[in-house]
Amino acid sequence: MDRPVSLQLYKAAMLLSGVGDALGYRNQLWEYNESGPTIHKELQELGGLQHIAVELPDWPVSDDTVLHLATAEALATGKEGDQLLHDVAFRYTEAMKDMEGRKPGPSSILGVSQLRPGCDGGYRVPYNPEGTGCGAAMRSMCIGLRYPHPDQLQSLVSVAVETGRMTHPHPTGFLGAVASALFTSYAVQRRPIMSWGLGLVKEACPVAKSFVLSQGYAVEETLRDWDYFTEKWTWYLAERGLSSGVGPACWPHPYGPVERDLAYKSFSLSGWAGRSGHDAPMIALDSLLGAGSDWGELMSRAGFHGGDSDSTAVIACCCWGLFYGTEGVPECNYRNLEYRDRLESSAEKLPRGRVMETTVLDSTLVGALLVVPVVLLTGLCLSCRKHSHTSIQQNYDVDDDTQYFPAGSGGFRIVRPAGPVLPASTNPFNMSESSGHSSHLLSPISPLLHQSRHSSFVPTEDGSIPSYENQESPHGVYVDDKEDDDAPGYIEVLPDPPVCKSVCASHQSLASVQSSGTGELDYVNVDSDTASEKNYINVKDEPFGLFPGVSCESIDSEENDSSDYVNAPPQRGH
């Protein structure tokens, strides 16, 4: 229970929610069986839970899982706001085409038939004073997986309220969605289970009320019917001794199938345990408090009772899966579950960046540790390369062989050799005849930077650095350092490079690169009017944006497009 929440636990949560639904439903037989003891007797006749192969055709999932999948797959798209809500509404209308034999409730059928996804405000339906059922609670656990952190409470509540009242606009109904989503997020947070109910009443419900007021939709009716949900939950917490959010929980004794049927009815709105938005998550929490890590005990309490057993089990099993995964669950219970692939796939997509995935964090950490030295080495190489091309511009008379001794050089001296005069045919850059002195081409893309030369020295046998003295070149002729590689101890200070006014015909010009189609920018050479002005390469001004050729107006219009949805007539399972 204390292990961190991983992607595998997310998958187990979605998977086991479907398992709990299918087991509690038993193809309609157990959902509508009002006797918990009878259900337990039939379970033993089937060989016990450990021998039940939950698969079609005998163990389909109910409307609970179909609608839970619709919610999860919409959340997995990463959409937010109205865009998300319209997508959820559309998926609910599509899910109603998959209800043959799954027994959707009357409020779900009515609510979905009134949705108009794609239309302005089309994800809201008229207030329904009868919309108190558990249909919103049974499909909202995945909202807690999408927004699992304490600082995401506002997002969790707003999405749960809006998606919940798409079919159950009564607060007893849509606050059930808030409860299911909240409990799932608490499971991810590893918040003590005994504090969950108090957190619902004192933390989430006030946020939900503020959200309803801020939206200005059916406010009067909602506030009129608000108090039943919170009052019933306050009563339940007192019954279990959890009013302060600290245990231990108090249980009746005994508390077997017979006693639980009676207790669950006392939770209910109209005598059908788990049927309403407030008591479906209430029975789920009661089961989690009593079952611990025992899968069989969890199903006995949450899934095999005389109430709406599939809706209570779908909530409890989702939260339980976040704690224990599939550990202790017979493989036959989930191996061939209907829609298993979709449930696990939606779980993989639901985590959005901030979910505590330990395996991903471990691999990311290893990757980061490998990247850091590479980045440091790259930075050092770039720094070395940058400094290796640093040159000191020396202005001197070619006939002056004056020697320069830096202060504190300890014998180090610089001799200025005369610069060579290269023929025009061999000089890649022509000398400017109008220039009175040499100047650098300082553009960062200058080819001269790649011709810089490195100084080197060879230490003496004792490891010290000797004094260096340049020998005068015969006849003032420049000697290439390739010939000096075998003569240690010399440092040559190069003459200033010649001024480039235009590129020689033997080298491809920037203009020719641009015209050939291989360049992306238009470069032009600007002639200097004065001898003292340096020859820079200017870049032609071009307008630019984030996406060349795409205007902001076109981006906005694409984002604001919404699909034209058409409601399909609901298909009832009976």
8 Å CB contact between 249 and 289: yes
> Cβ-count burial of 217 within 10 angstroms (0-12 exposed, 13-18 middle, 19+ buried)?
middle
Q: Has 561 been labeled as part of a binding site?
A: no
Q: Which three-class secondary structure state does DSSP give residue 538?
A: strand
Give the type of residue at 493: V
Give backbone dihedrals phi and psi of 538, rounded to 5 degrees, phi first: -95, 150
With CA atoms as reference, report the closest residue to 146 among 63, 80, 211, 67.
Answer: 80
Give backbone dihedrals phi and psi of 235, rounded to 5 degrees, phi first: -65, -45
Give backbone dihedrals phi and psi of 109, rounded to 5 degrees, phi first: -65, -45
With CA atoms as reference, report the closest residue to 394 among 518, 272, 496.
Answer: 496
Please tell me the distance from the alpha carbon of residue 258 to that of residue 236, in angstroms, as a whole number.
19
Please tell me the distance from the alpha carbon of residue 479 to that of residue 500, in angstroms, as a whole number.
22
Name residue, tokens 């003496």: 460
Angle at 427 between CA 421 and CA 432, to 5 degrees: 75
Sign of CA dihedral 382, 384, 389, 391: positive
8 Å CB contact between 20 and 313: yes
Q: Has 308 been labeled as part of a binding site?
A: yes
Please tell me the distance from the alpha carbon of residue 293 to that of residue 133, in angstroms, as a whole number.
29
Q: Has 151 been labeled as part of a binding site?
A: no
8 Å CB contact between 233 and 282: yes
**Helix, strand, coil fractions of the chain, as percent rounded to 5:** 50, 0, 50
Query: Which whole-number Å values give the CA distances from 211 to 155, 159, 203, 214, 554, in the listed order?
Result: 10, 10, 13, 5, 33
- CA 74, distance to chain mean position in Å, is 15
Query: Which whole-number Å values give the CA distances from 400 to 148, 396, 494, in the listed order?
Result: 79, 7, 15
User: How do beta strands 537-539 and 414-415 pair?
Assistant: unpaired
Name residue, tokens 């014998």: 411
The count of residues in the chain is 574
Q: Has 64 been labeled as part of a binding site?
A: yes
Angle at 290 between CA 288 and CA 291, to 5 degrees: 70
Q: Has 310 been labeled as part of a binding site?
A: yes
Q: Has 311 been labeled as part of a binding site?
A: yes
- Binding region for Mg(2+): 62-64, 308, 310-311
Q: What are the binding residues?
A: 62-64, 308, 310-311
